[in-house]
Chains A and B, each alone.
With several copies, the nearest count.
Chain A
Amino acid sequence: MEYLKDQAPIPDLRVSIGSLTLANPVMTASGTFGYAREFEELMDLRRLGAIIVKGISLSPRAGNQPPRIVETACGMLNAIGLQNVGVERFIEEKMGYLGNLKVPIIVNILGESLDEYRQITEKLSASEAIAAIEINISCPNVTKGGVAFGTDPAMAAAVTRAVKERSGVPVIVKLSPNVTDITVIARAVEDAGADAVSLINTLIGMAINLKKRRPQLANIIGGLSGPAIKPVALRMVYQVARAVSVPVIGIGGITTAEDALEFMLAGATAVQVGTANFVNPRASEEVVTGISEYVLAEKLPSVREIIGALEVC
């Protein structure tokens, strides 16, 4: 991808995900930023590299019984149950506002069957305000006995193909960390046509209330996120960046610009800020500011210089 020197902003924070060029590498992680509007009072949404909205399914989902969240050591568990308004209402009610933001909108999609993924993609193709699709493959494939798409290379590839065939925009596949070798899945979806991979989704965890002798979550298990998982996320980003040639988007416990820059050193072209949005609604904007200051202080021609620049003698 060519970055034109003459029209280069200063500092040059541009990065590319397939055919999509972002003003900077910072996105908001799906499910941690609502539909963005919730944050309009609290930060300047226009400063984001991209906005990824809450995962969208074919039909609306009510989500799980409460309690849905519980705090853990330097992290949290969630079992929201993928609650969302469904693709139709999403386009009607949310895309209008999002489309006017002048920030690339990436829609995170989830399904329980290949066909569901296909239909969502077709419905989204109608709305040209969408910059890219991120596929959440951490969901159970009900037609395959509920095994998560993301844990099997063949299923992961199949979903990727199903969406890619019907999508006019770049397709990002979001990988599950709950696998033996994440590079196998990453290569499978790359071969299936993924324009980029994003990782990590949450680690599966559990918390128990000793007094009540019950699980803290009604769903028993949930997804672990936050600073606690950052070391696992960094390791997987490092491994995947060496295994595939498509851009890698780093996710996991990113709270500050330093965290984001570490993921980029490990090989990430861009990053997503998740749980940190709950603690500090301005977190994603502050990460943009911090990266910008770093690029200036280090006198880098562009932020792209540090992608994969980790020195491992």
Chain B
Amino acid sequence: MPQYQEKATVVRVERFSAENIRLTFDCPDIALAAQPGQFVMIRTGTGKDPLLRRPFSIHQTTSDSLIQVYFKVVGRGTEILAQLKKDQQISIFGPLGNGFRIAETTPACLVGGGLGIAPMLFLAKRISQLKKDCANDLIILGGRVRTEVEPLMADFAQFGFRVAAATDDGSFGRHGFVTEVFSSHDLPERCTVYCCGPEPMMAAMSVLCRKRHFPCQVSVESVMACGMGACLGCSRPTRDGSYAHVCLDGPVFDAEEMIWNI
């Protein structure tokens, strides 16, 4: 699969809150090759500190040449990205990793928690393109507070999926966790679940899916230096007793392969 290192130009900055930001970059090669569930490595500056690139899911491609990332400020790198302004340039490397394997013939349930919402938009869009009708398909978005979910509802609404929301503090949608929303919905048989979010949430989802014999794909994280298989730093222990490398073998895995950090 092709990978590109591009000088990307910021074409749009959307601040959903002080912490939650969406950036739109012009990087044609990456946009054209990107698949739902893949990620990019972004260099936060041009200097030597912070040294390493930071991994971010591809939130969506909004044209043949634009990609979006939706991120939260958690440290130095994301702080720097949060200060980016329109027309500034930055080095982006990707698309990387193996994305979601879309089951076209079965109903889909997309579950995104917190920043795990990020890759779900691209996935929903692609599914809606592959299927003529998504009325049987469900999207569940969860977050701690309103600002983590509400700003994205409109984008998710456009594909004809049923969309449900939940927040930990009840400030938007159902008061509680996405898992509760998931359990409360009567989903069709042979539903395929696509999930991304905090480890405890993905762990819980994988248990629920196992019970109902739903195949469940999860997008997981790990610390990364290179994002492309060179450093072997992104390993995660798997059920078979070996290590998987998130950047190469993932970031999307079958939930059954995973050992959760909880």
A residues bordering B, Cβ < 8 Å? 31-34, 38-39, 41-42, 54, 62-63, 65-71, 73-76, 78, 80, 83, 226-227, 255, 275, 277-282
Contacts and interface: CB of A to CB of B under 8 A. Distances in A.
Contact of B51 (A63, A80, A275, A277): A275
B225 A278 contact: yes
Chain A contact residues: helix, strand, loop or mixed: loop
A281 B5 contact: yes
A227 B223 contact: no
B200 interface: no
Contact of A73 (B5, B49, B233, B237): B49
Interface residues of B, number: 29
A71 B5 contact: no
Contacts of B223: 66-70
A277 B232 CA distance: 13
Contact of A66 (B91, B93, B226, B235): B235
Contact of B235 (A76, A83, A275, A279): A83
A45 to B, nearest CB: 13
B5 A63 contact: no
Contacts of A74: 48-49, 51
B48 A41 contact: no
A278 B231 contact: yes
Contact of B243 (A54, A63, A78, A278): A63
**Nearest 9 A/B pairs, CB to CB:** A69-B233, A278-B226, A34-B230, A38-B229, A278-B225, A227-B48, A74-B49, A74-B48, A68-B233
Interface of B: 2-3, 5, 43, 48-53, 91, 93, 222-226, 228-237, 242-243
Contacts of A65: 237
B41 to A, nearest CB: 9
Given A62-B242, A63-B243, A73 B48 contact: yes
B2 A32 contact: no
A164 to B, nearest CB: 29
A73 B48 CA distance: 7
Given A71-B52, A227-B51, A41 B222 contact: no
Most buried by B among A39, A71, A282: A71
A78 B228 contact: no
Nearest to B228: A38
A215 B236 CA distance: 18
A279 B231 CA distance: 11
A65 B230 CA distance: 17
Contact of A83 (B93, B222, B225, B232): B232
A227 B235 CA distance: 24
Contacts of B231: 31-32, 69, 78, 80, 278
B243 A62 contact: yes
B29 to A, nearest CB: 11
A137 to B, nearest CB: 21
Contacts of A76: 51-52, 225
B75 to A, nearest CB: 10
Most buried by B among A66, A70, A78, A83: A66
Nearest to A54: B232
A78 B49 contact: no
A78 B233 CA distance: 7
A39 to B, nearest CB: 7
